[in-house]
Homo-oligomer: A and B are copies of this chain.
């Protein structure tokens, strides 16, 4: 396996999509991983997943940053305890309560700033449009527009944001992860719990459905299973 000489920064939340994305980046580049904590409910559990996945994938350059703005601003069930985490009933209709206003721009800004200092030419993010929760910042046109901002707003304009999973179904992402040996056992996707995954929030339901459709068992423990996976 020959790696590209170009360095890449990968945004690694610790969920299944970002884990597969990191496995891809680590296969093809000298990868550096960045994790942003933003006061989300499962912050500690996700941070643990980040370090464990980096260890398993052999990613040594790591950046862990805390974003204070998103929790100060609120407006999302993920950062505001007064807004409940919706169960999967509502999936696929409107933009859900777990939408964090303009969140991915914060994450991309961190990754691009770091890429500029490292001399990396690629930023990987595991955004997924299909099968996802309907977040506006998970669509291909959003990343096309952001790439234009990066081209115009950096020193030499030579950094590209890559979204290798964006057009895949979640079940295809599971299959790709299995091929790559992505450490799904170390990932965390649940929006609400940190001990075992709740099995009923949007994120758990999408994940369980993806493993079922891929004909594989999800290796992490669940507290309950939604009736309608």
Alpha-carbon distance between A103 and B36 when the two chains are bound, in angstroms: 16
Question: CB-CB < 8 A to A180: which residues of B?
Answer: none
With beta carbons under 8 angstroms apart, the residue of B75, B110, B149, B155 that contacts A149 is B149
Question: Are B149 and A117 neighbours in the complex by a CB distance under 8 Å?
Answer: no
**Measured between alpha carbons, how far is A101 from B136 in the docked complex, in Å?**
26
Query: Which residues of chain B have C-beta atoms less than 8 A from A99's C-beta?
Result: 155
Q: Are the CB atoms of A139 and B152 closer together than 8 Å? A: yes
Could you say which residues of chain B place their CB within 8 Å of the CB of A69? 36, 63, 65, 67, 109-110, 113-114
Could you tell me if A136 and B109 are in contact, using CB atoms closer than 8 angstroms? no
**Is A179 among interface residues, defined by CB-CB distance under 8 A?**
no
Q: Does A211 contact B (CB under 8 A)?
A: no
Complex CA gap A206/B181 in Å reads: 55
Q: Is A121 an interface residue (CB 8 A)?
A: no
Expressed in whole angstroms, the Cα–Cα distance for A106 and B105 within the complex equals: 8
Chain A positions 113 through 147: 1 when the CB is less than 8 Å from some CB of chain B, otherwise 0: 11011000000000000000000110101100110
> Which chain B residues lie closer than 8 Å to A68 at the CB level?
65-68
A117: contacting residue among B74, B105, B141, CB under 8 A: B74
Most buried by B among A113, A116, A152: A113
Enumerate 21 A-B pairs (CB-CB under 8 Å) in ascending A order.
A36-B69, A63-B73, A65-B68, A67-B69, A68-B68, A73-B110, A75-B113, A101-B112, A102-B109, A102-B113, A102-B154, A104-B153, A105-B153, A106-B106, A106-B110, A136-B152, A136-B155, A136-B157, A139-B152, A145-B148, A145-B151
- Name 18 extra pairs, CB < 8 A, besides A65-B68, A136-B157: A63-B72, A66-B68, A69-B113, A69-B114, A73-B110, A75-B113, A95-B155, A101-B116, A102-B113, A102-B116, A103-B113, A104-B153, A109-B109, A136-B153, A141-B152, A142-B149, A142-B153, A145-B148
Q: Which chain A residues have a beta carbon within 8 Å of chain B's beta carbons? A: 36, 63, 65-70, 72-75, 95, 99-106, 108-110, 112-114, 116-117, 136-137, 139, 141-142, 145-146, 148-155, 157
